Amino acid sequence: MSKIDLNCDMGESFGNYKLGDDAEMLNYVTSANIACGFHAGDPVVMAQTVALAVAKGVTLGAHPSYPDLQGFGRRKMELSSDEIEALVLYQIGALAAFAHACGTELTHVKAHGMLYNTAAIEPPVAKALAHAIARYSQGLTMVCLATSPLMIEAGQKAGLRVAREAFADRAYNADGTLVNRKQPGSLFTEPRQALEQVLRLVKQGEIRAVDGSTLKLAADTVCIHGDGPAALPIARTLRQQLTQEGITLSPY
């Protein structure tokens, strides 16, 4: 693997509450997943983030979530397949309107937080998510957890192209799941940690789990969480060092 996409979740400010430095982050990533108002973001933030990404030549994707502003989309919700499909389609359409207004189109959809995590392990949720994306456009790519065959298969069965996603700034369990955010060390705060993980992934197709075991992993895109405490230093380091290693950074 000599090519990888760097993506970032962004557009997660809301009104007077600012989260992350999207304008700076867009100098380093190659694709952006923009919040659609259900876990974060608002119409003004969505419009501004889309315009910034277009100006920087970064591809745009919708970042839909459960309707959970208070919990930042990270709390479990029991919704029917019809409800999930409708709320995902609603959010894609909202962001697509801002993209259209800027003379461009969305390229991908990446679910956020608990919606993403649940789609990785529960077939009905994965199917509803994939169906919503395909109903909007089968030209969209569905971003899937690289260690979830279930999620990948749901996207493929819906006729979608899928992009397997790994994480630069998150620790992994031996079974391929992400270490719970409540656990110490689950989120990397040192750029060196993220760089080591991504270099190993790109060059060797593997990462080291928290128990020291080796996890084989193939990925098309690597995520940096825009709300992380070291998001910008990590993004800057990855951009510089991967380029120096001769690795091409471009959208999948």
CA dist 151 to 20, 38, 75, Å?
28, 22, 19
Residue 120: per-residue pLDDT: 95
Report which of 226, 194, 191 is spatially closest to residue 207, judged by C-alpha positions: 194
The H or E element spanning position 26 is none
Mean pLDDT of 24-34: 98
Buried b / exposed e over 5-17, threshold 16 CB at 10 Å, is bbbbbbbbbbeee
Mean pLDDT of 88-103: 99
Is residue 109 very low, low, confident or very high in pLDDT (cuts 50, 70, 90)?
A: very high
Residue 226: per-residue pLDDT: 83
* Residue pLDDT, tens place only, 216-240: 999 999 999 888 789 999 999 999 9
Residue 84 phi/psi, 5-degree rounding, is -60, -45
Residue 182: per-residue pLDDT: 85
CATH number of the domain residue 24 falls in: 3.20.20.370
Angstrom distance (rounded) from CA 93 to CA 90:
5
Residue 202: per-residue pLDDT: 96
Mean pLDDT of 68-92: 97
Angstrom distance (rounded) from CA 101 to CA 134:
22
Is residue 94 very low, low, confident or very high in pLDDT (cuts 50, 70, 90)?
A: very high
Number of structural domains (the chain) is: 1
User: 62-66, 153-157, 167-171 — which is least confidently predicted?
Assistant: 167-171
Residue 147 lies in domain = 3-249
Is residue 156 very low, low, confident or very high in pLDDT (cuts 50, 70, 90)?
A: very high
* Residue pLDDT, tens place only, 120-135: 999 999 999 999 999 9
Is residue 10 very low, low, confident or very high in pLDDT (cuts 50, 70, 90)?
A: very high
Which tokens is 47 given?
């419009």
Mean pLDDT of the chain: 96
DSSP code, position 159? T
Amino acid at 21: D
Which tokens is 89 given?
């389609």
What percentage of the chain carries pLDDT values higher than 90? 90
* Residue pLDDT, tens place only, 201-217: 999 999 999 999 999 99
What percentage of the chain carries pLDDT values higher than 70? 100
With a CB cutoff of 8 Å and minimum separation 6, the contacts of 244 are none
Angstrom distance (rounded) from CA 198 to CA 166:
9
Residue 177: per-residue pLDDT: 87
Residue 84: per-residue pLDDT: 99
Residue 252: per-residue pLDDT: 84
Residue 1: per-residue pLDDT: 52
Angstrom distance (rounded) from CA 126 to CA 116:
8
